[in-house]
Structure 1
Amino acid sequence: MNARPESVILVHGLWMHGLILTPLRRRLAAAGFDAHTWSYPSVTRKLATNAQAFAEHLAAIDAETVHLVGHSLGGLILLCALHLRPDPRVRRIVLMGSPYSGSRGATDLLRVPGLSLLVGPSVQDWLAAPPVPCPPGVDIGVIAGTHALGLVGTLVRLEAPNDGIVTVAETRCPDACDAITVHANHSGMLFSRACADQIVSFLRTGAFARETATAQDLRPHERI
């Protein structure tokens, strides 16, 4: 009897919809995972509201083992959801360009009158409070982009390296068991085959694939 495939829930970031995760979802499905996406109003709802909605969605998933992949704000929402309602079925989490340690770009944009509507309350809530603790017993891997191409990077002076929106330093998460950089910008990570391969590697083994030519290790003192 064949084992049930492990489920993977993909969560998009700010200004996006779950449809943008379709290429990544298909690549994870081709790798043998039962992958699907979850969409939410990223600009209009508060962080706690989105986190509660995701926690309810996760609880309804019929699977023995669940992995989570969050891009940007999506990674922060899933961490908040697990803080609100821990789920022992969650084994591994991949955060893609998630500003766990803050966001200079978003902070600077909020100083400009009227731009708070573009940033949205979920991001503002995350920036206004200490980072949510990561769930214990869950392997967390962090992928950061180093191709500095993005709208925020043209408006705000970002520390290098960065992905055009989030800096590598801002993705640092002290509880991550592995971290790696890829040469992709913030949204480009969603379409990068190299990034998808790294996600598959981490979900399968709890570690990223160091032999991948396009991937770069973070030095131990830069460990996210």
Structure 2
Amino acid sequence: MAEKLLILHGIWNARSWVLPLARRMRALGFDAEIFAYPSVLGGAEAAIPALTRRIRQSGPTLLLGHSLGGVIALEALRRAPDLPVARLVCLGSPLCGSQAARTLVGRRWTAPLLGRSGDFLDRGCQPWSGVTEVGMVAGTVARGVGRLFARIDGPSDGTVSLAETRLPGLADHCNVASSHTGLVFSAAAARQAAAFLRQGRFLPADALPGPGSNQR
């Protein structure tokens, strides 16, 4: 029986944005569904209780969240530690807070772009100590809209720096050659996500075809 998997999109995205990722995860053997939410008008604080209800209704599941989706998933697990989620994989999620979001929120003319999720992305998550195993797949190709609005220090995926993905308490962390947006469409990212969701650890770099990944 295929393992149940719930996928969360990031900010400014909709269900259709992560359909390619859902199809890829289904091909890898998961019963993948998408949790859609209004990321700007509704915001993270509305999405968290909705996600909590969805998990309680559907029963044990795995989680995969891109960008803001990963932050929302981790915060939902922090607030409701009894949720039946064994593992969560975040794709490029700024769990330590986002410099790009901080810059946008700090300017009156750009703050509305993030809507009700702005402060949440700025703040990030507390160090993780819950029972759910959490892994991070981070991109290393610095192409993305974040660079248009803010200076991103150090290696990044163009929107989120690697440092912003390294929250204390994560079970594992790996890098793939992808931009922030590209993580949703990356075969390497999907393969790494599948490995962690099943085994609690990522694959070594030489186990992936092509450019693969760089595990740290």
Give the alignment's TM-score, normalised by structure 2: 0.92
Which sits farther off after the overlay, 150-159 or 37-46? 150-159
Identity over aligned pairs, percent: 35
Whether 2:190 is the aligned partner of 1:196: answer: yes
Amino acid in the other structure paired with 1:216:
N
Distance 1:9 1:97 in 2: 17
Secondary structure of 2:148 counterpart: helix
Residue of structure 2 equivalent to 1:137: 131
Amino acid in the other structure paired with 1:86:
P
**CA positional deviation for 1:151:** 1.5
Amino acid in the other structure paired with 2:214:
Q
Residue of structure 1 equivalent to 2:90: 95
Return the match for 2:155 from 125, 138, 161: 161
Distance 1:46 1:17 in 2: 13
Whether 2:18 is the aligned partner of 1:21: answer: yes
Return the match for 2:107 from 97, 102, 112: 112
Distance 2:64 2:82 in 1: 15
Amino acid in the other structure paired with 1:110:
V
Distance 2:66 2:129 in 1: 18
Whether 2:42 is the aligned partner of 1:48: answer: no
Amino acid in the other structure paired with 2:170:
A
Q: In the comparison of the two structures, how many residue pairs are matched?
A: 212
Residue of structure 2 equivalent to 1:36: 33
Report if the CA contact (8 A) 2:77-2:83 is conserved: no
Amino acid in the other structure paired with 2:157:
D
Distance 2:176 2:186 in 1: 9
Amino acid in the other structure paired with 1:172:
R
**CA positional deviation for 1:133:** 4.9
Secondary structure of 1:56 counterpart: helix
Q: 1:36 to 1:145 in 2, by over 3 A?
A: same
Give the alignment's TM-score, normalised by structure 1: 0.89
Report if the CA contact (8 A) 2:140-2:157 is conserved: yes
Partner deviation per Cα, 1:140-177 (whole Å, 9 max, x = no partner)? 11011111111221332111211111000001111111
Report if the CA contact (8 A) 1:11-1:38 is conserved: yes
Secondary structure of 2:58 counterpart: coil
Distance 2:49 2:4 in 1: 20
**CA positional deviation for 1:193:** 0.6
TM-align CA RMSD? 1.6
Which sits farther off after the overlay, 116-125 or 157-166? 116-125
Distance 1:127 1:110 in 2: 8
Amino acid in the other structure paired with 1:59:
R
